[in-house]
Amino acid sequence: MHAPLGVPERQLACADLIKALHECHNASVWNRFIGGCNDQKQALNMCLRQERVDRTTRNREDSKDRNKKKYDAWDKLKEETTAPDAAPAAEPKAEA
């Protein structure tokens, strides 16, 4: 079982394999039942798998970047809130 093929990104990446599978299925109804389209389906599954692996790798890298920015912002905020005042207030002089 493969993912729905109506997603445009998948159609761009695996368009020729999707077309070949549809043509095979439309050639004869028996192809679906006796395994006549198994080669096309296997090739499509491998293409979809590679697309998924690429997408998850890309998402993982993007997530690492977002987390780094988030932690950097939290660290900067923490430094700003815990930093002592730059100049202490001068005490008034006692007049004699």
pLDDT digits (tens, 9 = 90+) for 54-81: 999 999 999 999 999 999 999 999 988 8
In a domain, 13, yes or no: yes
Q: What is the pLDDT of residue 80?
A: 87
In a domain, 34, yes or no: yes
Stretch 70-95: mean pLDDT, rounded?
A: 75
Q: Give me the percent of the chain exceeding a pLDDT of 90.
A: 46
In a domain, 37, yes or no: yes
In a domain, 51, yes or no: yes
In a domain, 95, yes or no: no
Q: Is the pLDDT of residue 48 over 80?
A: yes
Instruction: Quote the DSSP letter at residue 87.
Output: S
In a domain, 32, yes or no: yes
In a domain, 86, yes or no: no
Q: What is each CA distance from 94 to 76, 89, 91, in whole angstroms?
A: 40, 15, 9
> How sure is the predictor about 50, in pLDDT bands with cuts at 50, 70 and 90?
very high
- Domain span at residue 46 reads 8-75
In a domain, 56, yes or no: yes
